[in-house]
Amino acid sequence: MKNMNISEEKEKIYKKFKNLCKSRFSYFDFMEILKAIDFAEKSSSSSEKNSEDHFLHLIRTASTLLTLPIVTKEMIILALLHNTFYFGEEWIEKLQNSFDEEIFNLVKTYSEIGDKEIFVPNTSSDILIKFLVSRAKDLRILLVILANKIDNLSQGNYEKKEIQNKAKESLFVLAPIADRLGIGKFKFDLENLSLKFLHPTEYKWIENFVKNNKEIYEKFLTEAKDKIFSEMKLHKIKGEVSYRIKNIYSIYSKVVAKYGRDLRKISDFAGIRIIVSSISDCYKALSICSSLWSQEDEKFKDYIEHPKPNGYKSIHSVFKTDDGKSFEVQIRTEKMHEIAEFGLAARWKYNEFKKTSKYKEREKNINLKQKNESISEYLTKWESEILSEKFSSQKDSISQKIENVIFISTPKKDILELPKGSKVLDVAYKIHTKLGNKCIGAKINEKMVGIDYEVSDGDMVEIVTNDTKTHQTEGCLKFVKTPLAKKSIQNSLRKFKILENSKKGEELFDKIVLEKYGKEILKSAKKIISDEENFVGYKTKESFFAGIYEKTISIEKILKNFELISENEENSKNLSFLQKTEKKESPEEEEKEILVGGERGIAYSFARCCNPKKEDILVGFLSKTNGAVLHKSHCKNLQKTNILNLVDISSKNNSIKNFGVLVGLTTEKDILEDIRNVHKNFVVIKKERIQSDYFFEINFSDFNSISEIKTFLGKIKLLKFLKNVEFAKFKG
């Protein structure tokens, strides 16, 4: 500091930092830190910005790290030297010559990501967090990034045009990382500072509200604190009791963002913290509070019994005074408190002190000079433990995710996460399906590559397209990596196949209908098809005609469904082998005349199993030897026969009928709504999932004839997602 004329206040910052380092590190490590301070001072003098301010920024950043209970000399040196690469080749060379390879690599990695813009609009925080962690590669770098951001925001070191993005980056990326690291102090600082720039009006209003009401709350909290402390003393519970006003961002996120400026909605605007020596004392202290005030049971949270994922433990409860004031009480042990403030780093401190005879005098034994080797080992353990925390709702840990993924950027500065081994075509489909379908290659770092080129971590990928291209080939399925790309290619191939088969199917339809049924029937059918909304169970005209080409739809059944040819035409063919009688009935006999399939003179006989009579409701079974065998409609033997072999039997005495049919269906998806469009009256007897398919057993009712049941079954077979009609049992 000898060549710098700085203010007395700034001199104090430097001296305080130096003394802290002296107390925290061994002599040799302290000398390394002094060397880094000297290097930082000299390199700062070459800065285009105010060299004094820049140097003090480095000191403040390093000082922020010293608030952690675990810190290494490498972290402090990195904080002091993190901007060295910005001063040019001369200083980079001096850095390499002055410090060991580990320090140089830490500073180099920091320079690649530390102050780069991380926040990307419309990109999830989860991806940005993973991106930053994967780039940092070392937990020490992440901690310096957090400390650096806290100082830059608190000092307002950013220009107006970049401050919004830096604040969003701090709030949505860095604060969640601090939270997962369990460093509550860093998290709260980043949140409060971000809010100040993102919502200055709300920040100022809450700040003023806290300031104006602080005296009132402090008086009330002091009284509450004294009551608790007196009771604890009476019950021989050793500990500390303090109070605090909730930080500004917490008030904003819990109340203002949800309810506007109504701070009556917040129950824990003010709070009391009780720190005791054991877990049993935590619950005794809770009992004391419950005896003094009424507890709001629905707001009680026991994080000792059920810790948060980041290791946080504490008892939280809200109490209400007789005059209606609400306040939160947090109760925890000393160890829990330090972990809450400084995260998993505090665990190391306790684990080490438990091995010493001075553990009970924890506050007197904070000198870590002899423990740098242990600290370094614990940092590795800490990093492993942190990276195993869940950064999203999925089961995989972030370390596993990062090991198997890459991050690439686009010309629009979007960051995309992809699995290792992804190709250019995977990137295209990740951006948009249409882009993937039209992709013919990409420019990667200004070099033109093909669609099967494997992209690398950190690549900037610009997709190249051809507007005349509509789909990729089947061969692409062999090299793409992502399920999204595979599914998109399969879908585009399926659509292309439908379009091709649709053209062939329409030609086939025109040819068969014209040859077999004539020009007028064809004309009418084409008109119905053009007006039909769902094309007999198919969503589009193209898929309808493709079904004809693929022979999944019967042209005859379509025409019957359109009522362009009658059902009786088919019945006539089925009945053609039966011998017709030439006997002419008298008018009296015509009253009792039985029509088989609507035809007169068809030979019939009565079944012996159910002894039917002419006045019964009858159903005929077509026998090749005995003509139509008539049964009572409720005869059990009819349920065992193929419905296609049944025929309507009618006479003037039994015209009122109500038939049903029990149908078993296997489908690719739940098609009950599609079935309802065909026939409304049914009851589902059974529905079950068999691997990827569905099986339904459905009882359909309210049919007036056998021919109506046959028409219905024909329509069911046309449904798009039907795989098979397993059975159809007649029910009279």
Q: Which residues does 40 contact at the CB level (< 8 Å), separation at least 6?
A: 55, 58, 59, 80, 81
Condensed to tens digits (0 to 9), the pLDDT of residues 578-591 reads 434 344 444 445 45
Q: DSSP assignment of 235-302, as one string?
A: TT--EEEEEEEPPHHHHIIIIIHHHSS-GGG-S-SEEEEEEESSHHHHHHHHHHHHHHSEE-GGG-EE
With a cut of 60, say whether residue 31 has pLDDT above it: yes
DSSP H stretches of helix in 121-271: 125-136, 139-155, 160-169, 175-181, 184-198, 200-234, 248-251, 257-259
C-alpha span between 713 and 658 (Å, rounded): 17
Provide the percentage of residues in the chain whose pLDDT is more than 70. Answer: 78
The whole-number pLDDT of residue 231 equals: 92
Provide the percentage of residues in the chain whose pLDDT is more than 90. Answer: 14
C-alpha span between 614 and 617 (Å, rounded): 8
The whole-number pLDDT of residue 399 equals: 43
Predicted confidence band of residue 361 (pLDDT cuts 50, 70, 90):
very low
Using N-to-C axis directions, what is the helix angle for 139-155 and 372-387, rounded to 10°? 90
Over range 393-411, report the average pLDDT: 58
C-alpha span between 43 and 86 (Å, rounded): 10
C-alpha span between 552 and 47 (Å, rounded): 77
Over range 274-279, report the average pLDDT: 93
The whole-number pLDDT of residue 398 equals: 41
Q: What is the CA radius of gyration of the chain?
A: 41
pTM exceeding the 0.75 threshold for the entire prediction: no
Amino acid occupying residue 229: F
DSSP 698: E
Over range 240-266, report the average pLDDT: 72
With a cut of 80, say whether residue 348 has pLDDT above it: no
With a cut of 50, say whether residue 178 has pLDDT above it: yes
Please check whether residue 466 is in contact with residue 416, taking contact to mean a CB–CB distance below 8 angstroms.
no
Closest alpha carbon to 40 in 21, 57, 17: 57
Number of H helices, E strands in the chain: 29, 20
Integer angstrom CA distances of residue 676 from 135, 643, 682, 686, 714: 56, 21, 8, 16, 15
Amino acid occupying residue 608: R
How high does pLDDT run on average in the chain?
A: 78
Condensed to tens digits (0 to 9), the pLDDT of residues 519-549 reads 877 877 777 777 655 455 566 777 778 777 7
Closest alpha carbon to 537 in 344, 654, 657, 669: 669
* Ramachandran class of 416: left when φ > 0, alpha when ψ lies in -120 to 50, beta otherwise: beta
Predicted confidence band of residue 51 (pLDDT cuts 50, 70, 90):
low
479: helix, coil or strand? coil
Predicted confidence band of residue 386 (pLDDT cuts 50, 70, 90):
very low
The whole-number pLDDT of residue 562 equals: 66
Take residue 280 and report the two structure tokens written for it. Answer: 């049993």
Q: What angle do CA 338, 344, 345 make, to 5 degrees?
A: 75
Predicted confidence band of residue 121 (pLDDT cuts 50, 70, 90):
low
Take residue 471 and report the two structure tokens written for it. Answer: 């789909």
- Note the Cα 214 to chain centre separation in Å: 42
With a cut of 60, say whether residue 600 has pLDDT above it: yes
Condensed to tens digits (0 to 9), the pLDDT of residues 240-249 reads 999 887 788 8
Condensed to tens digits (0 to 9), the pLDDT of residues 134-166 reads 777 778 888 899 999 999 888 877 777 778 888
464: helix, coil or strand? strand
With a cut of 50, say whether residue 225 has pLDDT above it: yes
Looking at per-residue pLDDT, the higher value among 494 and 292 belongs to 292
Condensed to tens digits (0 to 9), the pLDDT of residues 298-310 reads 889 999 988 887 6
The whole-number pLDDT of residue 579 equals: 39
SS3 content of the chain, % helix, strand, coil (to 5): 55, 15, 30
With a cut of 80, say whether residue 496 has pLDDT above it: yes
Condensed to tens digits (0 to 9), the pLDDT of residues 558-578 reads 777 666 665 544 444 444 434
Nearest 10 degrees: Cα torsion 178, 183, 188, 194: -20
